[in-house]
Amino acid sequence: MKTPICEMLGIEFPLVAFSHCRDVVAAVSRAGGFGVLGSTQHSPETLEQELNWIDQHTDGRPYGLDVLIPENMATSGERDVTYNSLQSRVPDKHRSFARELLKKYNIEIQTAISDDDRPQPFDPQRALELLDVSFSHRIRLIANALGVPPPAMIEMGRKHGVPVAALVGAKEHALRQVAAGVDILVAQGTEAGGHCGEVSTMVLVPEVLKAIKPIRDVPVLAAGGIMNGRQMAACMAMGAAGVWTGSVWLATIESETTETFREKMIAASSRDAVRSRGRTGKPARQLRSVWTDAWDRGPDSPGALPMPLQSLVSGDAFRAIDRAAAGGNERARELVSYFVGQGVGLIDSVKSATSVVQEFKADFLDAVEHLDGLVAS
């Protein structure tokens, strides 16, 4: 295919796959799509190892890196913030609420090490350090979410000849991103897993395209609830240059998700993917669980803390939940959750990432042929 995205990224098929799993990234790029590695959990050292592995397993194909540099969070403007320095900002009532909730399910939270001097969750300076590491590898795209990329990130992209993408959830966000100089927009509808806005993909994509048209030509990738090639064709019929996907890769053999979570995904409906602040402090779509219900609807809930403080509460809790579920605690299953979009209702089995790419291609062609047939008749 020849779309602006294919030419810009050097790929055959404009299917972008976001994943925290290197195996998924490599498999999608090898199959003709474009894998993007989520880097928020990495240090520069561990990211170097991951990218070396991807370089060796992509047959010379390109891939990308995603960072998360929020414009607004509780520590905005502060420097040298660490996990340890944030601990005192977490109220006891929030830790107690999480501890007592898990205790009902026979789960004990192991508190993080008190001398943890890692940079804070979603640390802007750490994100730039990760980008620095990436440019010595076969990176063809860098992407950011939760705000306009800082000027330093855009300058890095220009210096290395790597396009800069930004995720947006509203028309106004798109206009700010274009003004800042990003090269690609990802119009992410509310159906998406993870941090998302309130406008549906079907409305957001044409709204963004219409808004930016008078300013300059910026390729737009559609995102949010896209699980197959028929949906991809529909988005491209609206004017999108391709699609950005995430949730569909969680149900692959290569994915980082636990067996328990995969089973829950297959059993879930689209209504089970809910927006909640209970994990990061910002609205993020994830699989509904006892945890989301307790934080969002519980009469005794203290309310989620702002980003990044809520992550200090939820991080320890979800590590304990996953350990308990893996260890055979059946009640822990009720708490198991992860970021996933409303497309979860379309997941009915676990497949390889390569087969998912091939199914996207086949479904896309079927959809195009169907439309051609309607026009011809």
Q: What is the CATH number of the domain that holds 245?
A: 3.20.20.70
Q: Which of 137, 166, 132 is nearest to 149 (CA)?
A: 166
> Any idea which of 119-128, 166-175, 206-215, 257-266 has the lowest mean pLDDT?
119-128
C-beta of residue 321 within 8 angstroms of C-beta of residue 102: yes
- Segment 153-182 mean pLDDT: 96
Q: Is the pLDDT of residue 114 over 60?
A: no
Q: What residue numbers bound the domain in which 213 lies? A: 4-81+121-256
For position 113, what pLDDT does the model report?
Answer: 52
Give domain status of residue 323, yes or no: no
> Which pTM value belongs to this model?
0.93
Give domain status of residue 346, yes or no: no
- Segment 83-98 mean pLDDT: 92
**What is residue 330's DSSP assignment?**
G
Give domain status of residue 35, yes or no: yes
Structure confidence at residue 1 as a pLDDT band (50, 70, 90): confident
- CA atoms of 197 and 238, how far apart (whole Å): 20
Give domain status of residue 200, yes or no: yes
For position 138, what pLDDT does the model report?
Answer: 92
- CA atoms of 292 and 311, how far apart (whole Å): 14
Q: Which residues of 94-122 are buried (b: 16+ CB within 10 A; e: fewer)?
A: bbebbbebbeebebebeeeeeeeeebbbb
Residue with tokens 């195996």: 23
Q: Which of 11, 2, 8, 4 is nearest to 357 (CA)?
A: 11
Mean pLDDT of the chain: 94
**What is residue 192's DSSP assignment?**
S
Give domain status of residue 101, yes or no: no
Domain count, the chain: 1
Interval 257-308: pLDDT, tens:
999 999 999 999 999 999 999 999 999 999 999 999 999 999 999 999 999 9
Give domain status of residue 359, yes or no: no
- CA atoms of 71 and 135, how far apart (whole Å): 23
C-beta of residue 94 within 8 angstroms of C-beta of residue 295: no
Question: What are residue 36's phi and psi, to 5 degrees?
Answer: -125, 120
Structure confidence at residue 215 as a pLDDT band (50, 70, 90): very high
Q: Is 235 helix (H, G, I), strand (E, B) or coil?
A: helix
Single-letter amino acid, residue 30:
R
Q: Is the pLDDT of residue 9 over 80?
A: yes
Cis amide prior to 308 (ω within 30 degrees): yes
Give domain status of residue 113, yes or no: no
- Segment 93-99 mean pLDDT: 96
Between these two residues, 3 and 54, which has the higher pLDDT value?
54
Single-letter amino acid, residue 55:
D
- CA atoms of 250 and 298, how far apart (whole Å): 29
Bridge-partner residues for 51, per DSSP? none
Q: Which of 216, 215, 199 is nearest to 207 (CA)?
A: 199
Close Cβ partners of 18 (under 8 Å, ≥ 6 residues apart)? 36, 38, 66, 244, 245, 246, 249
Give domain status of residue 374, yes or no: no
Structure confidence at residue 377 as a pLDDT band (50, 70, 90): low
C-beta of residue 11 within 8 angstroms of C-beta of residue 32: yes
For position 64, what pLDDT does the model report?
Answer: 97
For position 121, what pLDDT does the model report?
Answer: 79
Q: Strands across the sheet with 284-287, in order?
A: 194-195, 284-287, 273-276
Percent of the chain with pLDDT over 70: 98
For position 124, what pLDDT does the model report?
Answer: 84
